[in-house]
């Protein structure tokens, strides 16, 4: 079967989105058990921390200043570093090859094509103003965490119950959604259907950060002006609204290496993705392999070095999820005395470690 850049990219998006759905279901089951006062048999999937970007940024500062990868949400930092590393090679490639929101955004654009038959483009002035929003949001968090928070307050935040159980809070946000949050999400979905890539283009701070890192990326789309017939098809399909015909190298912060321009171009040798000027272009399969390899290698290394799973004991999760309820008799009957002893020991170690960390922070503050 002949593969195209789009079919290759779709396969990668489906694989990663499938993994995210799988993680989401497992985490939902994990939390449901806790809420029923039952210790879950299902292990908490560490990948859920991909959805804790603030915790990842806080952990990054902590790691840079202390050299320690904290054990509360280690995979948040690991995934953050992997995602940033992808931008060094593929610019915002993460957005169009891996991110499930990017995948849904493309689905919304398709829906737009079916319903409205016309992609709405905002006037240039609004487009520029709105595009700055995502940089402002990213800048706000970077400023607050890297400039305003001291290392000791970072440590306090990391070990605070708010951060420890941020994943459960995030799930509850979607499960028991308030009317305001529901309305905001519906408005965002409508805007994303009407204006192509609305969320990714104007609001996503992760995309903003990757765009900035990607500005220094080795990989870029190259256009061979001498062979270009100026048909403009590449610009019509470009989700980044980039003036491809004006450029030889696409350095734009908005390029997500989606390869739609390459696929659409009628002159097959005009556009290509190159890592090194003057060298052969890399195909979509090479990019697909890169994404699969970098995530697999990063997660495996983190797992082997003990920086993937967190060290929060199940009992602490249970206490957080059902603070007013004693564990049910079903739970207690289910647990062997040895397991109960191990859990109590882990709880005590966890508490002692937390106390030590807080004491260190307090001493550092004095």
Catalog residues that contact ligand SF4 under the rule CB under 6 A.
Answer: 221, 223, 228-234, 237-240, 242, 244-245, 250, 255-261, 264-265, 267, 270-271
Residue with tokens 């204006």: 195
3-class secondary structure, 243:
coil
CB of 220: closest distance to ligand SF4 in angstroms? 9
CB of 293: closest distance to ligand SF4 in angstroms? 21
CB of 332: closest distance to ligand SF4 in angstroms? 56
DSSP state of 282: B
CA angle 168, 26, 39 (to 5 degrees): 70
Residue whose CB is less far from ligand SF4, 238 or 316: 238
The C-alpha atoms of residue 114 and residue 130 are separated, in whole angstroms, by 26
CB of 266: closest distance to ligand SF4 in angstroms? 6
CB of 231: closest distance to ligand SF4 in angstroms? 4
Residue whose CB is less far from ligand SF4, 58 or 282: 282
DSSP code per residue over 104-154: HHHHHHHHHHHHTSS-B---HHHHHHHHHHHHHHHHHHHIIIIIIS-HHHH
Roughly what angle, to the nearest 10 degrees, separates helices 337-365 and 314-321?
Answer: 80
The C-alpha atoms of residue 68 and residue 209 are separated, in whole angstroms, by 23
The C-alpha atoms of residue 212 and residue 99 are separated, in whole angstroms, by 17
Residue whose CB is less far from ligand SF4, 187 or 285: 285
Q: Are 361 and 152 in contact (CB under 8 A)?
A: yes
The pair phi, psi for residue 42, each rounded to 5°, is -75, 135
CB of 297: closest distance to ligand SF4 in angstroms? 25
Residue whose CB is less far from ligand SF4, 171 or 265: 265
Q: Are 72 and 164 in contact (CB under 8 A)?
A: yes
Residue whose CB is less far from ligand SF4, 23 or 261: 261
Residue whose CB is less far from ligand SF4, 271 or 288: 271
Residue whose CB is less far from ligand SF4, 154 or 271: 271
CB of 12: closest distance to ligand SF4 in angstroms? 15
């Amino acid at each position: 079967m002949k593969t195209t850049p789009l079919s290759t990219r779709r396969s990668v998006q489906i694989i990663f989105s499938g993994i995210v759905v799988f993680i989401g279901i497992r985490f939902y089951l994990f939390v449901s058990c806790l809420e029923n006062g039952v210790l879950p048999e299902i292990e908490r999937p560490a990948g859920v921390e991909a959805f804790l970007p603030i915790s990842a940024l806080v952990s990054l500062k902590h790691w840079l200043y202390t050299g320690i990868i904290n054990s509360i949400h280690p995979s948040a930092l690991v995934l953050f570093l992997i995602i940033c590393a992808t931008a060094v090679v593929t610019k915002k490639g993460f957005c169009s090859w891996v991110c499930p929101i990017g995948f849904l955004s493309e689905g919304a654009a398709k829906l737009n094509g079916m319903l409205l038959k016309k992609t709405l483009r905002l006037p240039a002035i609004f487009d520029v103003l709105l595009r700055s929003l995502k940089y402002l949001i990213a800048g706000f968090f970077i400023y607050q965490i890297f400039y305003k928070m001291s290392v000791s307050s970072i440590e306090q935040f990391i070990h605070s119950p708010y951060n420890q159980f941020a994943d459960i809070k995030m799930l509850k946000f979607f499960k028991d959604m308030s009317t305001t949050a529901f309305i905001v999400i519906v408005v965002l979905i409508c805007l994303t259907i009407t204006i192509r890539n609305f969320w990714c283009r104007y609001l996503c701070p992760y995309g903003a950060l990757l765009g900035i890192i990607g500005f220094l990326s080795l990989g870029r789309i190259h256009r061979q002006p001498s062979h270009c017939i100026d048909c403009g098809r590449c610009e019509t399909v470009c989700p980044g609204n980039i003036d491809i015909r004006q450029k030889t190298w696409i350095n734009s912060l908005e390029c997500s290496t989606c390869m739609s321009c390459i696929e659409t171009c009628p002159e097959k040798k005009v556009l290509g993705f190159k890592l090194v000027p003057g060298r052969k272009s890399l195909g979509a399969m090479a990019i697909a392999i890169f994404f699969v390899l970098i995530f697999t290698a990063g997660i495996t290394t983190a797992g082997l070095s003990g920086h993937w799973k967190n060290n929060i004991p199940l009992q602490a999760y249970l206490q957080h999820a059902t603070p007013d309820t004693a564990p049910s008799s079903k739970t207690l009957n289910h647990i062997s005395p040895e397991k109960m002893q191990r859990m109590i020991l882990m709880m005590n170690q966890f508490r002692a470690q937390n106390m030590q960390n807080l004491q260190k922070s307090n001493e550092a503050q004095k």
